[in-house]
Structure 1
């Protein structure tokens, strides 16, 4: 045996990345450098939405919804991290329904990609036409962005979509709140549970678009918990530049028709208006169907 070769092989084994059991494929493989718990092969296969076809809702395919006449738009823009493929559906199902809580950091960091994409879109004024600019309210961030290109957008607050009490008892956690937890830590943006569900709406995946929209009407209201009210009032008093609109992000796991996001945005706007504050509402979701 050659001692030199043994020494070189020993050094290589120390420098080589350790193998992990991947959270997606359950096989041993080299770990991803950017996403915890998955192998490089599964990382390469993630269906990231890098160039959404619809700049408003972030859809990666043709979008008829945002062009519907009379469509209300309480959110300005949505961005989603991944396309809701069968592999992504299985991954989310394991987290939401089968208690694989080790997936929480992974899904949260994946959602952060959507935040990066939204921020990049807003921070580059060349993305917005003069026609779009003329349609914006006087105090809209993008109007100020044109006047001062050096100003950078950031979210002031994260608001997770709430689940019903029965769903919370069934799962033991709110997946949107867990996603917001990770994003809050990474981006240092506070999050508050400003909303509650007023009634249980059942699983939306089995319903038509019209049924989802009808279900979500008045499905959310301001959280009446005194502790949450106090936290919100304290947060409002600390927000810098009180004359500008609040920049608020609604957080959820999936965007399908957008009915849930829109209903939440309307409730948040009403809540802010009751405090005499304007709010510009955006949304981030982990997946886009």
Structure 2
């Protein structure tokens, strides 16, 4: 038996090496850096107004970090996208946008993630925030197509029915739903201080993934202090006349609208619909910023617009 011990030891070491080679390699969590395994989870949304589907999972995050995401599961207010009863929208007057949808609740964890990205120079978190925004964008697109009965053009290659599924199918629907993507601008002082506009980055990342046109349509007229330090009344006052349209905004919107219906022939007429604009921002609090942006765009354009808002967090 003693003679076999070196052989058995060598065999055990060889087996361990082979097992380590065959074992799937797990990457590290993008947020906390810990090694992670594939996540399997079957939690669902309970809101009856939406189809039941699995709670979003960010593959680049570990189980612990995924569970810390405060996803908005139940949309209680169909105007502002809030997960609880909303009194603000009952008092809503002079509305410029149709509705807002947000991906997460702005709790302490989500606040720290966004602060690290915006103020602590952790720009590597940007793809993560876009990943978190994406599930609500897809849900919003599906909801809008269903509610407004938007006609989606037939797919180009009908003889390959299984090719455009999943992500490609959503790109197809997004192109039919959204005419242009834009974002809430920041002041020159804030851009100089931070080095980037987080709303622009989120909008650009989302538009790039789904092949949607994106443009800067708004300018900020003055610098203001952070909205997070203000009361609701102060926010409403502060956002009055806060934005103006880009000089080329009206011409661009008119051009998109004209191109949309330019293929109609004399033999048939397409039923013209408003131009659908998706406005992106990082946080929705009272909706005063989004509403001010929307009213400004309505005023600058000679065509009918429908503005929808997509934000990363709802406070």
The TM tier, using the shorter chain, reads 0.7 to 0.9
Q: Counterparts of 2:132 and 2:294 in 1: how far apart (Å)?
A: 23
1:42 aligns with 2:61: no
Q: Please name the residue that 1:270 is paired with.
A: 299
* Deviation sequence 1:154-192 (CA, Å, 0-9, x none): 111111100001000000000000000111011211111
Deviation (angstroms), 1:213: 0.6
1:260 aligns with 2:289: yes
Deviation (angstroms), 1:237: 4.2
1:206 aligns with 2:206: no
Q: Please name the residue that 1:9 is paired with.
A: 19
Q: Identify which of 27, 48, 53 aligns with 2:76.
A: 53
Q: Identify which of 94, 101, 116 aligns with 1:79.
A: 101
Q: Counterparts of 2:29 and 2:199 in 1: how far apart (Å)?
A: 26
State the SS of the aligned residue for 1:282. Answer: strand
State the SS of the aligned residue for 1:213. Answer: helix
Q: Does the 8 Å CA contact 2:102/2:310 hold for their aligned counterparts?
A: yes
Superposed counterparts of 1:157-236, under 5 Å: 157-224=180-247, 234-236=255-257
Identify, as 1 or 2, the structure richer in helix: 1
Q: Identify which of 243, 260, 278 aligns with 1:239.
A: 260
Deviation (angstroms), 1:267: 1.0
Q: Please name the residue that 1:92 is paired with.
A: 114
Give TM-score, length-normalised by structure 1: 0.81
Deviation (angstroms), 1:150: 9.3
Superposed counterparts of 1:99-138, under 5 Å: 99-125=121-147
State the SS of the aligned residue for 1:123. Answer: helix
Q: Counterparts of 2:219 and 2:117 in 1: how far apart (Å)?
A: 22
Give TM-score, length-normalised by structure 2: 0.75
CA gap 1:242/1:156 in 2 versus in 1, 3 angstroms: farther
Q: Please name the residue that 2:313 is paired with.
A: 287
Q: Does the 8 Å CA contact 2:26/2:35 hold for their aligned counterparts?
A: no
State the SS of the aligned residue for 1:122. Answer: helix
Q: Does the 8 Å CA contact 1:111/1:285 hold for their aligned counterparts?
A: yes
Q: Counterparts of 2:312 and 2:152 in 1: how far apart (Å)?
A: 29
Q: Counterparts of 1:207 and 1:94 in 2: how far apart (Å)?
A: 21
Q: Counterparts of 2:213 and 2:178 in 1: how far apart (Å)?
A: 9
- Max radius of gyration: which structure? 2
CA RMSD, aligned part only? Answer: 2.6
In structure 1, stretches of 5+ residues that fail to align are 126-141
Q: Does the 8 Å CA contact 1:31/1:38 hold for their aligned counterparts?
A: no
Q: Counterparts of 1:149 and 1:170 in 2: how far apart (Å)?
A: 43
Q: Please name the residue that 1:28 is paired with.
A: 34
Deviation (angstroms), 1:32: 6.7
CA gap 1:182/1:253 in 2 versus in 1, 3 angstroms: same
Q: Counterparts of 2:37 and 2:282 in 1: how far apart (Å)?
A: 25
Q: Counterparts of 2:224 and 2:109 in 1: how far apart (Å)?
A: 26
Q: Counterparts of 2:314 and 2:37 in 1: how far apart (Å)?
A: 26
